[in-house]
Amino acid sequence: MLIAMLMCYAGFTALCLATDRHHGELLRSKPSPARRLGLRVAGGLLLTLAIGPAVWLSGWAQGLVEWCAVLMLSALLLVLLLPYRPRLALILAGVGLLASPVAAFAIL
């Protein structure tokens, strides 16, 4: 479930960066329309692809329940970090993306 958690957190962070407010707060610039679209697509794709590891490990019935739990936990973590430690939220998303392949190989 670690890989699903990392993917969900990165996906929610990408969706968060697609907004003007959070993009400006974290990256000190306003996102262009192309960047905004790219972040939305990447965020949605990461959230959707996170279903794969959850279902592969636990089957469809339990995997979807675990995926929903991971979605809620990663969103809660991001919501709690953004007001107090916004840079840490961004760093964790980057580290999570870099650690995802390692977590994928740990499953095998």
Q: Are 53 and 107 in contact (CB under 8 A)?
A: yes
DSSP state of 1: -
Residues 6+ apart with CB under 8 A from 13: 43, 78, 89, 90, 92, 93
Exposure b/e, 12-21, CB count within 10 A at least 16 = b: bbbbbbbeee
- Residue-wise pLDDT tens digits, 59-98: 999 999 999 999 999 999 999 999 999 999 999 999 988 8
- Give the per-residue pLDDT at 81: 95
